[in-house]
Structure 1
Amino acid sequence: MLDTPREQDFDEIAELASRICETPIAVVNLVGNGRQFFKAEVGLGVRETPLDSSFCARAILEQDFMIIPDATKDTRFDCNPLVTAENGLRFYAGALLKTAEGHPIGTVCVLDFKPRNLSDMQQTTLKVLARQVMRQLELRRTLRERDEAQAQQAVLNAEIAHRMKNTLAMVQAIATQTLKGVTERDAVEALARRIAALGSAHDQLLQQDWTAASLEKVVRPMLLLHGDGGRIRASGPDIDLGPKATLSISLLLHELATNAAKYGSLSAPEGKVELSWTIDDTGEEPVLRMHWQESGGPEVNEPSQRGFGSRLIQMGLIGKGGVTKRWLPSGLVAEFEAAMSGVKAL
C-alpha cells in the first residue's frame, strides 16, 4: 500500500479521527522499508515524512496504543525536531495497525500543537478506527490476490484452450487419414463435425474455469452453423450448465440440427425450427425442460434403424435419458428434461 493514491475510505477515517479527538492533525500512517507513508492525512498536506523523527516509529513498538499528553515533558521526544521547532508538536496519540499475525505496520494517530489528553471514549474510538483501517487493508489485499489469481487462471485457460484445440485438430486429422479409404463419406464427415462440436463446448467451459458454461452460448454455435436467416429461433432463460451438461447438450443440439438439415425441416427452403427451454419449479426439484419443434419441411417418419447420432440424442441433456420424440406430419417434435441439480453438477 506504500505510495498508493489517496482513497476516500481512508480519508474519511482520518477526518473522523480528527473530529472525534478534536485535533488539527490526523493520519493513517504506514511504516515500511525505513520510511513512513501517509495513506490519509488531515492537516499536514504531505504524504511522507522522515522516519527518524517520527512519533509513529516509537508507537509501533508499543502494544496497542500510545499517548503523549505533552511531548516537551517526555524524555523520548523532548529533543525531537518536530517538538523543538517553533510552534512544534506537543500532543500525540496513536492506535496501532496490526496484521492478523500480530505484525505492526503503522498507526491511526492524532496530533496537536498544544498539550492535551483524550477521554476514554476518544481513545476507544481511535482503536476502533485502527481496526477499520486494517479491515480495509485486508479487503484490498484479498481483492488484489483474487485479481492476480484470476489473471493467472486466464493465462492457464488460454494455454489449455490452445492445447485442446491442437489436440482435437490432431484427432480430427488422424481420423481423416485413418478413414480415408472409407467409402461412406457421410460417416467420416459426421465424426469431424462431432469433434468440432466438442471443441466448441470446451471453449465455452474454459471461459468460466471449466466449472460452468452459459446455455445461450452453447446454443449459439448451432445457430451460426444452421440457423441462417433466422430459420432456428431459440428462446429461454440463460442458465449456467455444469461441464457434463455442457458437453451433452452441445452434442445433442449438433445432432438435432444436423438431422434437421439432412432429413428434416432445414432440408427445405421454408423449413424452420423452434427451440425453447424453461425451468419448471412446480415439483420437489426444479427441472430443465427443452423443446425442439420442426416445421415446414418434408414429412418425417421414425427411423427404422438407430445410428450413433440417434443414440446421442436419446441420452438427453445430461446423458441419463429423459427424452420424448414424436414424428408428426409437420415435423419432428422432441422434449428433453433433466433435474437442475444434474444440469449444474460439476
Structure 2
Amino acid sequence: MALAKLVNNAVANPRGRWIQVLFAIGLILLPPLFRWVIDGGRLGMHFATCFPAILVASLLLDLFLASLVAFGSAALTQWLFVGEPWFKHPDQAHFSLFMVFALTSASIIVIGDRLKVAIRRADEYSRKQGQYNEELKARVQGVLAVIQALAVRGINEDSPLDFYSVFSERLNALGRASDLLQIGSSSDRKLPTMFQKAIAPFCSEGQIYLAGEPIEVPTDSCIPLIMAIHELCTNAMRYGALSVPEGRVSLRWFLRPDGKCLTVLWEERLGPCVRPPKKQGLGHKLLSAQPGLAAVDLNFPPSGAWCEVSINCA
C-alpha cells in the first residue's frame, strides 16, 4: 500500500522542466551503467535494460524527454557494448532489429504517457471529491445555522400561525437560494441575480440594499462567494443589523480600474453594537482568503460589521 501510494504520488505530481532534464540524464546513463555492472554486455541483448528506463521516463517525464531517454540510452548502449552504430551495416537484419527496438520503445512511451494522464486525472478527481466533501459539510452546517437564525427571527411573530407562515416563506426562499450552491454545477454566475437569490431568505423586509453594475463572476469564485454572503447574512441575522427591524445592510460590488479584480463590499448599520467574535469557527474559514477569493478583509467596528472581498477576474 505504501509503495502504491509512493508510485501514485511520483506520477501524479508534475515536475519542473529542469528537474525533468536531470531525471532524463539519469535515465539515459542508468541502463548502460546497470548492464556494465552485471556482465559488461558480454551476454548480448544489449538493450534489455533500456526498456525499464523508458517506461519510467514515460511516467515521469513529458513525451519529448521520454523519447530522448529512449534514443539516448540506446545510443549510449550501442556505443559502449557494440562499438559501432547499427546503420554502419545497413542490412535487413540490422534494420529489422532497429525497427523492433523503435516500435517497442514507442509503444512503451505512448502507453506510459496515457497511463500517466489517467493517474493524474484520477488524482485530480480524488482531490475534487475531497474538496466537495469538505464543502458539503460546511454547507450543511451553514444551512443549519441559517435555519436557526430564521427560527429566532420568527419568534417575534404574534401567533404560532404567523410564525409558521413567516418561517415557511423564509425556508422556501432559502431553498431557492440553495439552487445556486449545487456542487460542481455551472449556476447563474451573473450579478446582481446571484446575490438576489442568495440573500432572498434574509431580506423579506427589504433591509439589504444592492448596488453595482451587471457582471459575471468567475466560475471558481461562485461557491466560495455565495458561502461568504450566506455567512455574513447569518451573522447579521443572529447578532448584527438584520437582527432588528431598523437595521440595514449595503451590498455593493465594482470592477477595479484595471478590470482584473472584482471587489464586493458588505456594510451593516443601524444594528446593535457589534463586538468581535471571541473564537474562530467555521464562519472564519468561509470569510477568509481561499481558492476563488483572493482576499477577504472582515472588521467589527461598534457601528456595524463590514467586509471587503476581492476576486481575481484575469
TM-score range, shorter chain: 0.3 to 0.5
TM-score if structure 2 supplies the norm length? 0.43
Q: Which has the higher strand share?
A: 1
Q: Which has the larger radius of gyration?
A: 1
More helix by share: 2
